Structure 1
Amino acid sequence: MRIKYITNVRIPTSRAHGFAIMKMCNEFAKAGVQTELFIPSKGNNENKEDPFDYYKIDRNFKIEKIPSLDLLGSTLKFGRIFYWIDSLSFLLSAKLKINLTAGDILYTRDFITTLFFSKKDFIALELHSVPTSRFLFKLALKKPKIFFVLNDYIKQDLVSMGVNPEKIFISPSGVDVNLNKMAVSQEEFKKSFGLPLDKKIVLYSGQFYSWKGVETLADSAKLVPETCFVFVGGAEPEFSSFVEKYKNVHNIKVLEFQPKEKSLQFMLVSDVLVIPNSGKSRISSHYTSPLKLFEYMTSKKPIVASNLPSIREIVSENDCVFAEPDDPESFAEAIKKVINNPDLTQLISQSAYSKVVQYSWDKRVKNILKNIQSML
């Protein structure tokens, strides 16, 4: 078996999917599978660092860059049009460049990719959501031999569109379960980022998209003025817009995207970790399986999370405190409950950690390979 992983993604990237793709290839290779990652050659990628160095991942697989246009990297003026032109140039080049032979598994997270390869090829499609525009998506569903989805909601959507349920396997996101063993001096770390030493720290780490619910959490900060709310991450244009909107809220501190190691250290020096996903978007309410939630669970710190079906697929009241999505008052009350309840904090933190062990990257990959083998 050989894995040929194809993705139309700029790598490296500050977005979580970049790390997940690299980590999956790394784990495939660790499992003894010859692995190649095919990515577009994006001349306008602002991050020129070597992907293996950037993500601190072993060089146990090959990365091959496929020549492609990068109009979207030059301007956002014609975003949707340029996205499709760039994507088509990458996929046409990939089709010409990549030779699939017996024993090759074409693995991808991009359903459009499947349309450029033959149904005779062994295609494994990993899906993290179901698009609202479904014409091309339904065509793409005819190609894969096997599907890996984040949760049962995505599986049921595929079944309703005619996919054989025996070809669909649920595979939630993965995590390094040893993240909490990272060494960090709380006082020194807080001082280096200008964080208060005498206040509780509530942390959100991730992107600032509307469906992530960051504004709900920021609004809740006004209701817990004695606590410092730290937001780490984001990308433009959402980052600048968020900073501008909340620049006058005294107990909010916003920091730009941090390297993976720093991001994890923020979790270890914080007192409450928050997943404030909105309930207004289906990708948030039903499809997502947040990498950040799994990382939070490894930290042995208490979690406050939106009460959504997608989140409840992973955790229960035993593992976190739920707040109602899009409700700042509910989040403020949940955060206060955690801060004022040390016994509860210890119980839910330990329960979350005990549960997250089953979601390690190596277990995820071993299950995926076992399921692929069963379909060969």
Structure 2
Amino acid sequence: MKIAYLSNSPLEKKVANAIHVMNMASSFAKNGHQIYLHAKCNAQNRDFLFDDYGIKNDFKLICVQSKNIKFLGPILYGLIQAFKARLCIKPDLCYSRCLLSAFFTMNLGLKSIVEFHEMPHSKFLKWLYRSLLRNKNLLRVVVISEGLKLDLVKEFEISNIIVAHDGATLSYHSEKFLLENKKEINIGYAGGLREGNGLRLMMDLANELPLLQFHIVGGDINDIEQWKTLQRSNNINWYGKREPKEVGAFLHECDILLAPYQVGPKTSSGRDTARWMSPLKIFEYMASRKAMVVSKFEVLEEVLNKSNAILVNPDDFLAWRSAIENLASNISLRMELGENAYNCLLTKYTWEKRAKAVLEGLLV
């Protein structure tokens, strides 16, 4: 099937939604589809992007420039994508992560699937969601969690909706990531450095556990310098943002991985998506075969349980410290949790399985 995959992901920034669409495009292609991924990028960097993401160049990447014009810019971007799809590609199906692109493509008569990652947070977005969900060319809605499905169904009374949690790649990492100040037990974190990601908790844990070394991948220099002002211990290494293909190698070098989500901002726009999220980090952790300690949110329990992770209340510091100490002293438990998480990913949550599930049973 010829699919126009429409996104507003800024590929050069290597953010989570960009990692998501690049892996999904590759997985659609691996499953035998002809893919045309539209995204924000510079055409001169097209070939380098495949290498940066560690992804085979097996789909067509169409770079669309975004105009930095308030309100009008996103509309023009969506309109350009829609006309490129309609006039140049003439696809059997449009798969949209960009909601404005979906609006225009469906009104141009193209059959579409739309993927949502959160509830609307403005009057305009509520209108846009309602317009998309009532359009006769909408074939299916894809969401990333049961929590989001429940809220969308309640708000908009839709039925053609499926849940497809995020995924990860089961790739072998030939290059090693060199951890600085490596100790017997190394604690790892990879992700954003926003308040809701649990950086304060990690720094408090590092202060209480001086014999363990904490390693943090993510954030730009300004983020890191800001958090360093609150650091009280000398057992934290900050590596900054790395290429997506490097993250797996980093996780592989750690012994215990943390996902200490808190109430608070978890997206670049400052919104708290704790009720609906399906973090890439969790699935990348699962792919690493390493034990993880994760904040106990209902949405994360859709994927994780006591057999593949240690789940701890976000604000229970003593429980976090105890969980890490327990894992640090128990290699058999670390291996058991890591292997169970990997097998769960292999069975349910690879990108290829997700790419198959979102199209399964579709009549175009």
Same fold (TM over 0.5): yes
Task: State how far apart, in whole Å, the 2-side matches of 1:7 and 1:25 are.
Answer: 11
Cα offsets for 1:342-362 (capped at 9, x unmatched): 332232222212211121111
Structure 2 partner of 1:36: 36
Consecutive unaligned residues of structure 2, counting only runs of 5 or more, are 266-270
| CA shift for structure 1 position 202 | 0.6
SS at match of 1:318: coil
Matched, 1:126 2:115: yes
Structure 2 partner of 1:276: 260
Residues 2 and 33, structure 1, Cα contact 8 Å, conserved in 2: yes
Q: How does 1:208-247 map to 2 (within 5 A)?
A: 208-235=193-220, 237-246=222-231
Residues 204 and 231, structure 1, Cα contact 8 Å, conserved in 2: yes
Structure 1 residue identity aligned to 2:93 = I
Distance verdict in 2 for CA 1:272–1:162, change over 3 Å: same
Cα offsets for 1:154-206 (capped at 9, x unmatched): 111111123432x10111112123x4x43466xxx54xx4222x341110011
Structure 2 residue identity aligned to 1:361 = W
Structure 1 partner of 2:83: 96
Structure 2 partner of 1:87: 74
Instruction: Decide which of 155, 158, 172 is 2:152's aligned counterpart.
Output: 158
SS at match of 2:169: coil
Residues 10 and 42, structure 1, Cα contact 8 Å, conserved in 2: no
Instruction: Decide which of 283, 295, 309 is 1:294's aligned counterpart.
Output: 283
Matched, 1:252 2:236: yes
Cα offsets for 1:222-248 (capped at 9, x unmatched): 1212111111112365333223332x4
Task: State how far apart, in whole Å, the 2-side matches of 1:152 and 1:263 are.
Answer: 27
Larger deviation: 337-346 or 98-107? 98-107
Consecutive unaligned residues of structure 1, counting only runs of 5 or more, are 72-81
Instruction: Decide which of 101, 105, 113 is 2:93's aligned counterpart.
Output: 105
Instruction: Decide which of 352, 357, 360 is 1:367's aligned counterpart.
Output: 357
Instruction: Decide which of 98, 121, 139 is 2:131's aligned counterpart.
Output: 139
Structure 1 residue identity aligned to 2:251 = M
Aligned length in residues: 351
| CA shift for structure 1 position 58 | 1.8
Task: State how far apart, in whole Å, the 2-side matches of 1:245 and 1:141 are.
Answer: 46
Distance verdict in 2 for CA 1:17–1:236, change over 3 Å: farther
Larger deviation: 99-108 or 217-226? 99-108
Residues 79 and 101, structure 2, Cα contact 8 Å, conserved in 1: no
Could you tell me the TM-score, scaled by structure 1's length? 0.85
Structure 1 residue identity aligned to 2:71 = W
Task: State how far apart, in whole Å, the 2-side matches of 1:355 and 1:171 are.
Answer: 15
Structure 1 residue identity aligned to 2:48 = D
Distance verdict in 2 for CA 1:351–1:41, change over 3 Å: closer
Identity of aligned residues (%): 25
| CA shift for structure 1 position 313 | 0.6
| CA shift for structure 1 position 267 | 1.1
Structure 2 residue identity aligned to 1:155 = K
Could you tell me the TM-score, scaled by structure 2's length? 0.87
